[in-house]
Chains A and B, each alone.
Chain A
Amino acid sequence: MRHLLSTADLAHDDAVDLLDVAEEMTQVAEREVKKIPVLRGRTVVNLFFEDSTRTRLSFEAAAKRLSADVINFSAKGSSVSKGESLQDTIQTLSAMGADAVVVRHSGSGTPQRMATSGWIDVPILNAGDGTHEHPTQALLDAFTLRRVLAGAPASGPAEGARGRDLSGATVAIVGDVLHSRVARSNVHLLTALGARVVLVGPPTLMPWGVDAWPAEVFYDLDEALAAHSFDAVMMLRVQLERMHQSFFPNPREYTRLWGLTEQRWRALPEHTAIMHPGPMNRGFEISAAAADSPRAVILDQVENGVAVRMAALYRLLIGTDSEGRP
C-alpha cells in the first residue's frame, strides 16, 4: 500500500490486515505511557484545506502515539485565485521533509491528484475529499462493526475480532448519500469485507447512477427496516442548508420520513448497533434516545478512529503487512 486514497483500492485481505493492526494499536492507549516509538523521527503533516477539528485531532493523536512529529497546516481556501497553489503548498511540504501527508480538501479527488502529480513522493492519506471518500472513517466503522459482530466490546483492547471480516452482516446507511464521502467509502469497504449494504434516503439525496453500486436502495426507511434485520444502522449527517436547495422541504418532514426517531429506534431488533460518523444533528437525523442508547456505538467509533489511523500510518510508513510482506 503506497497511499490511502480510496477504500475502492483496498482488497479484502489488506482491509482485514489494517483492522488487525488497529487491534494491536488499541493496546497502546492502555499503557501508562500511551506511545510506541515506531515512527520516531518521522514527520506527519496534517494538511487541512477544510476545517475538521475532530478528524485532525484524531490523526494528530494517532501520529503522536506512534511517536511521529506532527505539523498541522491549516490552509483554508486553496485555488489559484486565493494565492498559493496546491502545487506550491505540496512542494513546500515536500521540501520541509514531510514523511507522510494527511489531507482534507473540499474538492473531490485532490488527494489522488497530489499522489499522482509528482509534486511529492511520500504516502498521502485521504482524510476526506469533497463528496468522494473518507477511507479512515470507513475503516473505523468497519473496525467497530467487526467488534460488535464478534460480541466483543465495541472499543478498547479486546479479543475475538482479529482475523475476521464482516461476512453475513447487513448494514443500513441512511441519509444524504449524494453528498456523503462516508457513504462512498463504506459502500466499497463493507462490501469488500463481505457485508451487505443497504442505502436509504430521499431520492433527491441519492446519486444518479446509484443503481450501479453494490448496494440495495430504499427510499422509504420504514420499508427498509421492515425488510431487513440490520446489524447496524448508520445515520449520516444531513446539512440543514440542503433544504434551501430543495433536496427536502424542511427538517420536520425529513425527520418524520428518514430520521432515527425514538419510535423507530425502539422498534429495532436488540442486536442492531446505532452508528453515526458525527457530528450529529440531535433531533434531526437522529433522536437523543437513539444516540444515547446502550446500542449506540458512536463514541466507540471516535475512539477506534485513533487506532485505525495509527494502523494506516504504520502500514504506509513502515511499509509491511502483518506477515512482514513489503
Chain B
Amino acid sequence: MTSYLIQGASVLGAGPRDLAISGGRFVDALSDPDVVIDARGLVALPGLVDLHTHLREPGREDAETVLTGSQSAARGGYTAVHAMANTAPVADTAGVVEQVWNLGREAGWTEVVPIGAVTTGQQGTQLAELGAMARSAAGVRIFSDDGLCVADPLLMRRALEYVKTFDGIIAQHSQEPRLTEGAQMNEGTVSAELGLPGWPAVAEEAIIARDILLAEHVGSRLHVCHLSTAGSVELVRWAKSRGVRVTAEVTPHHLMLTDELVRTYDPLYKVNPPLRTQADVDAVRAGLADGTIDVVGTDHAPHTSEHKCCEWTAAAMGMVGMETALAIVVEAMRDFDFDFADVARVMSTRPAEISGLPEQGRIETGRGANLVLVDPEAEVRIDPAEHATMGRNNPFTGFTVSTRIVDTFLYGHRVVAGSALADPHPIARGGTWIA
C-alpha cells in the first residue's frame, strides 16, 4: 500500500505538523514515503462519520446505490457512513444487512456500516431479528426504523432492553404518528398561511420525552435522530443532566434552514422532520455548541427528480447532504465559539464512539488512517450537478461556502485527491480495510 507523508497540515485547526500514513494506519514517522503531500494551508480532520444516511440500495437503485452513495460520502469527507434500514426489502435480517455491508466493501469508497431495522418490515409490531443482525458479518450495533417512529411504547421498551445483549443502540425517528397524520410542514404561522397540514414540535418532543424516560428506566442506550426543535434540545439537556444514556443528532439543514422556505412550495424544501423556525435553528446551534447535541448526521435522502419535480403535496420528503455537510456546519456555527476541533468532535469523533468504530474518529498513531484534508478558505458555489450522489435534491443549491474537501484518505488509501474521486480502496477487490 502507498505510504504518505502529509506535510504542514493544520491538524484540527491547530498549528501545522506532518502526518505519516503507512499500511493503512497513522504512523509516527516515515523515512521513505511513497508520496509527499504539501498540505500547507489545509486543515486535517479525522475522516467524517455519518450516523445517518440513506443509500437506497436494495430497492431504489434509481435514486441512489451503495456505490454512488459511497462516492458521495468520500467526496464529502466521510470515511464511514451508516446506512439506514428503510430499503426494499427492509434491512431487518442478517441477509439484507450483510448484502449492504458487502456492497459497501465492493464499492470501497467509504466504510458502509449497516443499521438494522428495529421491527420486522418497519411495521412497528414485532421485533426484527436484532441478534442475528448483531452477530452477522455486518456486526450491526445501531437499530432504527428511521423514516418511521417506533411508536408503540411497549415495543420501544422491549427494543431498548433487548439490545443490551450486545451493547446496541436504538436510534429513534421521533414522530408521534397520530399527531402528524398527513403532515406536510412545520406547524406554525407559516403553515397556517400556506394551508399545509402541520407537523407540530410536540409530536417530536412527546416521543423524545417518553423515550428518555424509558431509556432511564431500563438503563439502555437511546440515540435521538435528527432532532429539530428547541424543545427537543431542552429535553436532551435535561436527560443528560440526569445521567440518562442518550445521544442526539442534528442535520445540517436543521442547522441552517427555516420553514420560511416552504413559501415557495418548492418540494426541494420538503423534509421529515420538517424545517422549523429561526428560534429552533438558534436552539439546535446552541445545543450543538454546548455538547447537548452530540453529532451531526446528514439524513442524506436522495430522491429521483420525478419525486421532487411535482406538486408539494405529492413530493417525497428528504434532502441530500453528504457532499455539503461539512461546509454547511462550518457556516451554520460561525457565530459560535466552534472551531475545527469542535467540527471534528461532532462529525467524526463522537459518531465513531457512539457506533463503536475504533479505527475511525481520531488522528492518532496506530489508528486507521481515516483522514480528510480541507481547504478552509475556498470559495465554493454549491451546484448539485457536480456532485457524485444521484440525488439532485440539495437545498443548498446556489449557496456560497468557504470550505472545500480536498483529499479523503480511507484506511490510508487516497480515495479523493484534489477534490475529485481518485480510486477506491483495494478492499473493492477483496481483502480487508487494513492489510
Contact = CB atoms under 8 A, between A and B. Distances in A.
Given A80-B307, A87-B310, A109 B189 contact: no
Nearest to A107: B313
A212 B312 contact: no
B1 interface: no
Contact of A80 (B265, B306, B312): B306
Contacts of A76: none
A85 interface: yes
Interface stretch (B160-168, B194-202, B227-235): B194-202
A207 B193 CA distance: 9
A210 B192 contact: yes
Interface string A109-136: 1101100110000000000011111000
B188 to A, nearest CB: 5
Nearest to A119: B309
A86 B195 contact: no
Contacts of B386: none
Interface in B196-219: 196-198, 200
A116 B264 CA distance: 9
B314 interface: yes
B357 to A, nearest CB: 38
Given A108-B196, A132-B195, A209 B188 contact: yes
Given A116-B264, A209-B188, A110 B313 contact: yes
Contacts of B377: none
A87 B314 CA distance: 12
B188 A181 contact: no
B337 interface: no
B192 A209 contact: yes
Interface in A228-273: none
A208 B200 contact: yes
Contacts of B195: 108-109, 129-133, 181, 184
Contact of B311 (A8, A105, A208): A105
Contacts of A73: none
A87 to B, nearest CB: 6
Interface in A160-212: 181, 184, 207-210, 212
Given A79-B314, A109-B265, A208 B307 contact: no
Contacts of A86: 310-311, 314
A113 B263 CA distance: 10
B191 interface: yes
A106 B196 CA distance: 11
B420 to A, nearest CB: 32
Contacts of A117: 309
Size band of the interface chain A makes with B: 20 to 34
A303 B310 CA distance: 35
Contacts of A80: 306-307, 310, 314
A198 B187 CA distance: 22
A78 interface: yes
A129 B194 CA distance: 10
Nearest to A81: B314
Given A109-B196, A113-B265, A78 B311 contact: yes
Given A80-B307, A208-B198, A208-B200, A109 B312 contact: yes
A105 B310 CA distance: 13
A163 to B, nearest CB: 30
A112 B306 CA distance: 18
A131 B183 CA distance: 13
Contacts of A112: 264-265
B61 to A, nearest CB: 17
Contacts of A130: 195-196, 313
Interface string B309-323: 111111000000000
Interface string B387-399: 0000000000000
A132 B312 CA distance: 12
B200 to A, nearest CB: 7
A207 B191 contact: yes
Contact of B310 (A85, A132, A208, A210): A85
B192 A113 contact: no
Most buried by A among B188, B191, B313: B313
A86 B187 CA distance: 26
A222 to B, nearest CB: 25
Most buried by B among A78, A85, A87, A207: A207
Contacts of A116: 264-266
Contacts of B197: 131
B312 A110 contact: yes
Contacts of A113: 265-266, 311-312
A208 B199 CA distance: 11
Contacts of A181: 195
A79 B8 CA distance: 55
B276 to A, nearest CB: 13
Contact of B314 (A107, A129, A210): A107
A211 B80 CA distance: 47
B88 to A, nearest CB: 15
Given A109-B265, A112-B265, A113-B265, A208 B314 contact: no
B309 to A, nearest CB: 6
A105 to B, nearest CB: 7
B87 to A, nearest CB: 19
Most buried by A among B184, B188, B192: B192
Contacts of A79: 310-311, 314
A116 B309 CA distance: 12
A295 to B, nearest CB: 30
Contacts of A212: 189, 192
Nearest to B307: A80
A109 B310 contact: no
Interface in B167-191: 184, 187-191
A108 B313 contact: yes
A112 B310 CA distance: 12
A213 B193 CA distance: 8
Given A80-B306, A130-B196, A208-B200, A106 B313 contact: yes
B306 to A, nearest CB: 5
11 contacts: A78-B314, A87-B309, A108-B196, A109-B195, A113-B266, A184-B195, A207-B191, A207-B198, A208-B188, A209-B193, A213-B192
Q: 5 tightest A-B contacts by CB?
A: A107-B313, A109-B265, A132-B195, A207-B192, A209-B192
Interface of A: 8, 78-80, 85-87, 105-110, 112-113, 116-117, 129-133, 181, 184, 207-210, 212-213
Given A80-B307, A107-B311, A110-B313, 12 more contacts: A78-B311, A79-B314, A85-B310, A86-B311, A106-B313, A108-B194, A113-B266, A131-B195, A131-B197, A207-B198, A208-B188, A208-B191
